[in-house]
């Protein structure tokens, strides 16, 4: 049986544009599931480079039953080890809630759902791009749905970039030891 390993950081770096394209072009469900999967791979990388070099790390991080194989567990561990800050952790927790809402709904869910819109509005990563004067006067339902989706998409990409840089930095630290 082949040992599971996270997608290589260089490969993930090349996938960022592809992920962003999917987040913007596919259904709301695909957007949420693929965005979360992307962040999960990045979390696996940042956690893995914090482990000693051993074949057991792949076993722990394996999404098919590894103790640290699930998105929320990886985020918890990354935060507890000081690999990510509290703000990133809170955003990842919100993404996990959004993902679970989409994944466990027996009927189609979209970014029009009031709880989803509220959670996307609470994400903080996208706010660095917010222009204080970009307020919509009486936005339509479609504009609110797109706002929530854009908040989600931008948060995924910005958190992903942050996790990627942190994982690369951690990998360089490991080489020096």
- What string of DSSP letters covers 10-74? HHHHHHHHHHHHHHHHS-HHHHHHHHHHHHHHHHHHHHHTTS-S-THHHHHH-TTT-TT-SHHHH
Longest dimension (CA), the chain: 58
Residue-level pLDDT at 130: 62
User: Quick check: is 3 in a domain?
Assistant: no
User: Quick check: is 4 in a domain?
Assistant: no
User: Quick check: is 1 in a domain?
Assistant: no
* Number of domains within the chain: 1
User: Quick check: is 119 in a domain?
Assistant: yes
| Residue 138, pLDDT above cutoff 90 | no
For residues 142 and 166, the model is more confident at 166
Residue-level pLDDT at 90: 96
* 71-85 average pLDDT score: 95
* 6-29 average pLDDT score: 88
Residue-level pLDDT at 122: 93
User: Quick check: is 71 in a domain?
Assistant: yes
Domain containing residue 80: CATH number: 1.20.120.330
Q: Of all residues in the chain, what percent carry a pLDDT higher than 90?
A: 56
Residue-level pLDDT at 9: 81
Tens of pLDDT, residues 108-129: 899 999 999 999 999 998 877 7
Domain assignment of residue 133, given as a range: 9-176
Q: Highest mean pLDDT range out of 1-5, 10-14, 35-39, 144-148?
A: 35-39
Tens of pLDDT, residues 24-67: 999 999 999 999 999 999 999 999 988 888 888 889 999 999 99
């Amino acid at each position: 049986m082949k040992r599971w390993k996270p997608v290589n950081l260089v490969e993930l770096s090349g996938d960022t544009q592809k992920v962003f394209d999917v987040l913007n072009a596919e259904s709301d469900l695909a957007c949420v599931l693929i965005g979360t999967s992307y962040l999960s791979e990045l979390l696996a990388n940042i956690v893995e480079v914090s482990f000693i070099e051993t074949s057991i790390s792949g076993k722990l991080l394996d999404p098919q039953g590894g103790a640290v194989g699930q998105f929320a567990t990886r985020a918890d561990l990354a935060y507890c080890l000081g690999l990510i800050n509290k703000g990133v952790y809170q955003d990842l927790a919100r993404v996990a809630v959004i993902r679970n809402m989409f994944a466990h709904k027996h009927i189609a869910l979209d970014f029009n759902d009031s709880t989803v819109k509220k959670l996307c509005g609470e994400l903080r990563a996208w706010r660095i791009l917010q222009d204080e004067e970009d307020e919509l006067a009486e936005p339509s339902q479609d504009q609110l749905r797109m706002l929530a989706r854009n908040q989600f998409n931008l948060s995924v990409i910005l958190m992903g970039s942050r996790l990627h840089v942190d994982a690369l930095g951690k990998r360089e630290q490991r080489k020096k030891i």
